[in-house]
Chains A and B, each alone.
Chain A
Amino acid sequence: MADPIHQFEVSKIVDLPDIPIGGGRTIDMAFTNSTLAMTVAAGLIVLLMAVVTAKPAVVPGRVQSVGEMLFGIVDNLTHNLIGPEGRAFSPFVLTLFLFILAMNMLGLFLVFTATSQLAVTAALGVMTILLVIGVGFARHGLGFLKLFVPSGVPWPVLFLVVPIEVVAFLLRPVTLALRLFGNMMGGHVALKVFAGFVVSLGGLAAGGGLGWLGIPGAALALSGVVALTALEFLVAFLQAFVFAVLTTIYLNDVVNIGHH
């Protein structure tokens, strides 16, 4: 029986030259299975979008409807949460959403889930929060710091509230990264464990004797796998959507400081 953790193992496919980053340290730029999964995901998005926008019909076909629906979800999201200025962030949020969605979905079809790698989710989370901070300073300068000072709070309480707000803000990328990472990894571990039960209980039954008792258990585990797979498709979409929604909310916080 395969180790349920084994699927998260990163292995090199093509070894590329390392990049030195000073101090004698290097970054291993090898093309790994994780990189492959990301590349396939990105390629699929480009392919989908190319097909969707190749011959835009006034009355959309199926593929075009899907593409326009995905874009519409994000575009409406940014517009509804942030306001008219929100459309400017649609490309970023759409990229995040589609990329995460594609990586999540690929994990259910292929053997590797890029979003179950903490490095990937952490990079996405940090990227998001850096954008949020950048937008905040670009739009409001130092007024961005008002984000940490809630209005209508008596000043002595601020000594308590401001640090809490700062910590809460800094925890945003952490929660973004860990939520996605945990959901994807947890789902895949559970799938693998249940699938392992099917095999081991089936093996028990194949051993003869009282082993036939394993068959109902294996059947139960198999139905569990089927149900979990369906659930994982929902989770894959939902986590991508949640990431996009939270990114939009965080952007809204800094675009409309003091309005929330």
Chain B
Amino acid sequence: MASPVNPEGSRPVTELPSAEASEAVHGHEVSEGTTEVAAHGGEGGGLPQFRVEYWGGQIIWLLILFTILYALLSRVFIPRLRAALDQRENTISGALIAARAVQAEADAQAEAARAEVAEARARASRTATDAKAAVEAERSRRATAEEAKLSQYLAQAEDRIRTGRDQAMTNVRQIAVETAEVLTEKLSGRPAASDEITTALAAQGSR
């Protein structure tokens, strides 16, 4: 690469041996391209970039490569990139839409569940109310029946009492009649008329 050690002063000229040697091989170029030669000699080497003998080649190679690169990028790679980016965008928006749908479904399900729970609760409370009412009805029915039975017993008992009393009263009257007959007989010596006694007793009883 670098030429061997050069004296400082002459370096710029002697630094370019390979290029000049190759130019020398291309003898016709050097002799015909007078401007190049002038540039060479005049600047004493100067910056290699200002030596124009390689400009044409570099520019044409650059244009060729640029054209190839542009064609490949614009025809092949950029469409592929855009497709990939679009696909990503679609995937993301699709996922978002799906997520939103799932969210909505979950909301609906939650709503349905809530409604179901409310309905179940209503049904349960209704059942409880019904049961309570049924129990209440049964209880009152039984109470009524019991009461009826009791009052029947009561009535029978009262009947019995009344019968007994009436009987007793009759017995008492009978006893009174007999007593009155005996007393009357003893006192008067003759049997008393039972109907008189009865009348007297009735008068007595009514007093």
Contact = CB atoms under 8 A, between A and B. Distances in A.
Interface residues of A, number: 60
A244 B56 CA distance: 24
Contact of A42 (B55, B68, B76): B68
Given A3-B11, A6-B1, A42 B69 contact: yes
Interface of B is mostly: helix
B152 to A, nearest CB: 92
B53 interface: yes
Contacts of A58: 87-88, 91
B88 A27 contact: no
Interface in A33-53: 34-35, 38-39, 42, 45-46, 49-50, 52-53
B120 interface: no
Contact of B48 (A8, A39, A50, A52): A8
B84 to A, nearest CB: 3
B60 interface: yes
A13 to B, nearest CB: 11
B85 A28 contact: no
A9 interface: yes
Interface string A72-108: 0000000000000000001110110011000000000
Interface of A is mostly: helix
Interface residues of B, number: 48
A53 B47 CA distance: 41
A64 B48 CA distance: 39
B32 interface: yes
Given A45-B69, A123-B59, 12 more contacts: A3-B2, A5-B47, A12-B22, A28-B53, A30-B54, A42-B68, A49-B73, A58-B88, A68-B85, A71-B78, A71-B81, A91-B78
30 contacts: A6-B1, A8-B47, A8-B49, A19-B56, A30-B54, A31-B61, A32-B58, A38-B58, A42-B69, A52-B81, A53-B80, A53-B84, A56-B81, A56-B87, A58-B87, A60-B88, A68-B84, A71-B81, A91-B73, A91-B74, A94-B78, A95-B66, A95-B70, A99-B69, A117-B58, A119-B55, A119-B58, A123-B58, A123-B62, A185-B47
